[in-house]
A and B are shown apart, each in its own frame.
Chain A
Amino acid sequence: MQNDKKEINFRWPVIGRILLKALVLFAIANLLLAAVSPLPALESISAYNHLFPGRKRFPFGEDPAAAYNFSLYSFEAMFASHRVAAGPKPTDEFRVLIVGDSSTWGTLLRPEESLTGQLDTADLHMPDGRRLAFYNLGYPTLSLFKDLMVLERAMAYQPDVIVWLVTLDSFPVEKQLVSPIVANNAAEAQALIDSYQLQFDGNQDALVIPGFWQRTLIGQRRALADLARLQLYGVMWAATGIDQVYPSDYPSAQRDLEADASFYNYQPPTLAPASLAMDVLTAGMQAVGDVPVLLVNEPILVSSGENSDVRYNFYYPRWAYDQYRQLLAEQAGDAGWQYLDAWDLVPEDEFTNSAIHRTPAGEALLKQAVIEELTSLMDIEE
C-alpha cells in the first residue's frame, strides 16, 4: 500500500525529531487527561439508544466473545447503554425501576424471562391509562452499597416506583465496598458515605482512590478500551439480542450441604445487627426521596437435601437467615416501608445454578407476588 508513496528521507536528525515529537505529544496527552479527567463526560456519550437499541440490563459478563457483553467499572457508561436512558420519559409511561443483584439481572435467563422482562410483558396499566414500563437495573454484585450507588443515579430517570430486591448476602458490612464496581468508583462512594454518614470501620481501605498516574492516559487505558469495546458490542447486541452465554448444561445449585453453621465469620446463636448494613438500606430509602419503594426479600432455595436442618442452602445457615428475616421485617415495619418477604415463595426445583438464581417459572411466581404487592401500593389494572 505504501509502495507508491514517496519515502521520507530518514536520517538521524529526522528520526530524532520524530521520536521527540511523539514523546512530547504522548506526555501532553497524558498530562491533559490527568488534569481534565474527561472520562466521565466521555462515558455518558453512547451509541446505544441512538445507533443501537439500549440494553435491557446493565453490561456484565466474563466471556465477551460469546456474550457480546462484559463487566466494566463505569456507572456512566452502564447507564448510558441502558434503555432507561433512551430519552425523556414518555408521558404515557409509569416507570418502575427494579434494583437488585444477579438474580434481578437474570443470570442464565434471557431478558424477557427475567422478573423485569416478565413484568414488562404483563401489560399493566394505571387507572389513568399510563402503561407500567419496567426497567432492569439489577447488577450481579451482592452489596447494598452498590444498590445505593445505582439508586442515586437512577433518580435522574424519573422513576414512579422502585422495586428493590435484597438478600442476606448483600448485607454483611465487610462486603459493601469490596466489589470492583464499588471500589473503582471511589470518589462517588466516598461522597455517599459522607452524605449519609455511613459507618464502615476500616473497610473503606477497599476504595481505590486514583492517583496521578491512574488519571493519565496510561492509567485510564483500560477504561478507555472498555468504553470503545462497549460501543462495538452494541452491534452484536442489536444483531443478536444476546447479552450473556446460555449454556445447555451447568452445575445445579448445591442441595446436599455441609454440616457447617457458620455465616462468614459469624457463629450461632446470634447475628449481631451491627454486622448487617441496615444503615445502607436506610440510605437507599432516603436516596429515592418520595418515590415509593417496594422492598423485597428475594426468594432463596430452601433445600431438602443432606444437612438441610442446619442450612437452607449453600449461602445461608438457618439460624442466621431466620434472624436476618426477623431484623429486616422489624426494620421495615419500624420505618413504614412497603415490604414483601418472598423468601420461600419459589420451590426448590425452580432454582438454577445458585440458591438465588431462579428459572423462568420461578420468576413467574415472584412476578405474581410483586404485582399483588404493587397493586396494594397503587391501583393497577391487569
Chain B
Amino acid sequence: MGLTQVLIFAVAALLLRLVGRGVRRGWLLLAASAFAIYWLQPGMPIRYLDFWLPTATLGLAALSWAVMTPPEVCRKRENWLAGGVLAGVALAVAATRYVGMGNLFMATRPPQFGQAAIGIALVLLLVVLIARFLPRRDGLLTAVSMLVLTLFVVIKMPALAQLAAGGLRALGGQEASRALATDIRWLGFSYVAFRLIHTLRDRLNGRLPAVSLRDYMVYALFFPAFTAGPIDRLPRFQKNLEQPLTADGLTLDLGAGGQRLAVGLFKKFVMADSLSLIALNATNAAQVHQGRWAYLMLVAYSFLIYFDFSGYTDIAIGLGRMMGFRLPENFNRPYLKPNLAQFWNNWHMTLTQWFRAYFFNPLTRSLRRNRNLPAWAVIFITQLSTMVIIGMWHGITFNFLLWGVWHGLGMFVQNRWSAWFKGHSAWLDVQPWRKKLWELLGMVLTFHFVALGWLFFALPTPDLSWRMFRLLLGL
C-alpha cells in the first residue's frame, strides 16, 4: 500500500464509520472490501490476471464459507444477497473497461465484460452447487484446506510459480516460454489463506458456529488488514462487527484510530522508507567491502523490517479502529526482549499465535503421546519444524528454510539454556542491577541473533548470506 492508497482508505474508513451504522454497516464493508482487493492488486505481465486473482480470492473465500456452512443456513436470503453483492462488485469492476475508467479499480484494463461475466458465473455456480447439494462432511473441509495450501505452495515455490505462470500465459494466448516465477503476485493471499484455514480447521473441530456469507467475507477480506495482517480470528472479529456503534464511541474511535494511523504512517513512510536507502539488500550485499559498514546495513535492515511491518500493522489497526474494529496487536517492542522466545512472542504475534494453535500445539500433543521420545526431543522437533514452516510461509526457498532452521535451533538452545539457568540464577536476585544488566545483555544478544538471521531472510542465496557472515565476523 502506498501513501495515496492509505489516505484514500482513511477517507473511506471515516465515511464508512459515519454512514455505515446498523444493518448498512456490514453491507458497506462487504462492498468496500471487495472493491479494495481489486484496487490493491498490482498489475502483472500475464493478461487480465490482476482481475482474475482478486476474483479467485472472492471465489475461494466463498467456497470455504460454503463447505463449512450447513445447507439450511446457506439458503438464507441474506446469503444470496451477499453473493449478489460480491458478483456485482466483480462485474462493476469489469464494466469499468467500457466507461473509460479501466484503471479506476485495477492496474490494467479489465477483461471483456462477457468473458468476466462467464468467469464470475462459473465461480458463483460452483459455490451455489456446493452450498445446496453437497453433503457437509469433514473430508470436504479438509479438501478445501488442502486446496488453499496447494495454491499457497504453488505461488510460494519459485519453480512451481514459474510453471503456473507459463500455463496461465498459454491460456491467455501469451508466450509461455517467457514466464517468470515473479509473474504471479497474488496480493493478500498469504493472509487470506491463514484466515480461511483457521475457519476451516475450527469448524472441523466444532469450535466455530455458522456465520453468514457477508460476515465471513468481511472477515476474510477486511481491507485494512488485507495485505499485511494482522491475522484476526473470526469469533473476535464478528463480535466487533455485530457490536452496535454508538455516538459516544465515535470520537474515541476516530481519535484513537487516527492517532494509531499517524504512528503507522510515520513508521512506514518516514522511518522504513528512509532506512530502505541504506538497508541490506541483494545488490548492496555483493558490493559492501568492510565489516563495519556491513554491520550498519544489517542493523538498518533489522529496523527497516520492523518499522515497515509494524507501521503497516499500525495503519491497519488505526483504520480498523476508525470503523469500530479492534484488530489484534502484532508487535510489542520485540527488539527490547531479553530472549528469543520472548522475541517471538512479541514479533508478528498473530502469525506465531496462529502457528501455535494450528501446528505447534497439535504436534506437541501428538509427540507427547509417544512415550519413547524424551522431552528435549519433543521440544527440538516442534520448535525446529514450527520455525521452518514459518520460514517457508515467506517463500519456499533455501534461504527461508535456513532462516527457519536458524530460529528453530536458536529457540531450542534458548529453551535448554533457560531450563538449566533457572536452577543457577540465584546470584541475579541479590541486587536489582544484576538482573537489569543480565536482561540488557540478553536483549543485545537476542537482537544480534535475530539480526544475523535476517541475512538469510533479506538475501536470496546462501552464498550471499555466507559472504555477509564472513564479512561481519571478519572471517
For the complex, is B277 an interface residue (Cβ under 8 Å from A)? yes
A15 touches B254 (CB 8 A): yes
| Most chain B C-beta atoms within 10 Å of own C-beta, residue among A8, A9, A10, A18 | A10
For the complex, is B51 an interface residue (Cβ under 8 Å from A)? no
In the bound complex, CA of A324 to CA of B13 (Å): 66
B293 touches A2 (CB 8 A): no
Say which residue of B252, B293, B329 sits within 8 Å of A235 (CB atoms).
B293
Smallest CB separation, A194 vs chain B (Å): 39
A232 touches B278 (CB 8 A): yes
B333 touches A1 (CB 8 A): yes
In the bound complex, CA of A11 to CA of B251 (Å): 5
Of the listed stretches A237-245, A268-276, A349-357, chain B binds A237-245
For the complex, is B425 an interface residue (Cβ under 8 Å from A)? no
Of the listed stretches B148-156, B294-302, B368-376, B388-396, chain A binds B294-302
B289 touches A241 (CB 8 A): yes
In the bound complex, CA of A199 to CA of B32 (Å): 62
B288 touches A240 (CB 8 A): yes
Say which residue of A2, A10, A241 sits within 8 Å of B254 (CB atoms).
A10
For the complex, is B260 an interface residue (Cβ under 8 Å from A)? yes
Within 72-95 of A, Cβ neighbours of B (below 8 Å) are at none
Q: Which residue of B lies closest to A2 (CB)?
A: B260
Given A2-B263, A239-B284, A240-B284, A8–B256 Cβ distance below 8 Å? yes
Q: Which residue of A lies closest to B332 (CB)?
A: A1
A236 touches B329 (CB 8 A): no
Q: Which residue of A lies closest to B249 (CB)?
A: A10
Residues from chain B with Cβ under 8 Å of A236 in the complex:
277-278, 284
For the complex, is B255 an interface residue (Cβ under 8 Å from A)? yes
A10 touches B332 (CB 8 A): no
Given A2-B263, A10-B251, A229-B277, A239–B288 Cβ distance below 8 Å? yes
In the bound complex, CA of A8 to CA of B259 (Å): 10
For the complex, is B331 an interface residue (Cβ under 8 Å from A)? yes
The number of residue pairs between A and B whose CB atoms lie closer than 8 Å in the complex comes to 72
For the complex, is B290 an interface residue (Cβ under 8 Å from A)? yes
Within 8-45 of A, Cβ neighbours of B (below 8 Å) are at 8-12, 14-15, 18
For the complex, is A291 an interface residue (Cβ under 8 Å from B)? no
A239 touches B260 (CB 8 A): no
Residues from chain B with Cβ under 8 Å of A233 in the complex:
277-278
In the bound complex, CA of A240 to CA of B297 (Å): 11
Residues from chain B with Cβ under 8 Å of A228 in the complex:
274
For the complex, is A66 an interface residue (Cβ under 8 Å from B)? yes
Smallest CB separation, A206 vs chain B (Å): 31
Total count of chain B residues near the partner, CB < 8 A: 28
In the bound complex, CA of A9 to CA of B249 (Å): 10
B289 touches A235 (CB 8 A): no
For the complex, is A128 an interface residue (Cβ under 8 Å from B)? no
User: Hey, what's the 0/1 contact readout for A152-188 against B, CB within 8 Å counting as 1?
Assistant: 0000000000000000000000000000000000000
B252 touches A239 (CB 8 A): no
Q: Which residue of B lies closest to A15 (CB)?
A: B255
B256 touches A10 (CB 8 A): yes
Q: Which residue of A lies closest to B267 (CB)?
A: A1
Residues from chain A with Cβ under 8 Å of B260 in the complex:
2
Residues from chain A with Cβ under 8 Å of B4 in the complex:
none
B252 touches A10 (CB 8 A): yes
A240 touches B287 (CB 8 A): yes
Residues from chain A with Cβ under 8 Å of B446 in the complex:
none
Smallest CB separation, A237 vs chain B (Å): 10
In the bound complex, CA of A241 to CA of B300 (Å): 18
For the complex, is B283 an interface residue (Cβ under 8 Å from A)? yes
For the complex, is B310 an interface residue (Cβ under 8 Å from A)? yes
A239 touches B293 (CB 8 A): yes
Residues from chain A with Cβ under 8 Å of B331 in the complex:
1
In the bound complex, CA of A185 to CA of B414 (Å): 59
In the bound complex, CA of A3 to CA of B263 (Å): 13
Residues from chain B with Cβ under 8 Å of A229 in the complex:
277
Smallest CB separation, B120 vs chain A (Å): 40
Give 25 pairs: A residue, B residue, CB < 8 Å, sorted on A: A2-B260, A2-B263, A8-B255, A8-B259, A12-B251, A14-B251, A66-B283, A228-B274, A232-B277, A232-B278, A233-B278, A235-B278, A235-B293, A235-B296, A235-B297, A236-B278, A236-B284, A238-B293, A239-B287, A239-B289, A239-B293, A239-B297, A240-B284, A240-B289, A240-B293
Q: Which residues of A approach B to under 8 Å, CB–CB?
A: 1-4, 7-12, 14-15, 18, 64-66, 228-229, 232-233, 235-236, 238-242
Q: Which residues of B approach A to under 8 Å, CB–CB?
A: 251-252, 254-256, 259-260, 263, 274, 277-278, 283-284, 287-290, 293-294, 296-297, 300, 310, 314, 329, 331-333
Known: A2-B263, A10-B259. 13 other contacts (CB 8 A): A1-B310, A1-B331, A3-B329, A8-B255, A10-B254, A228-B274, A232-B274, A235-B293, A236-B277, A238-B290, A238-B293, A239-B297, A240-B287
Q: Would you list the 10 A-B pairs with minimal beta carbon distance, nearest first? A: A10-B255, A239-B293, A240-B287, A235-B278, A239-B288, A232-B277, A3-B329, A10-B252, A10-B251, A11-B251
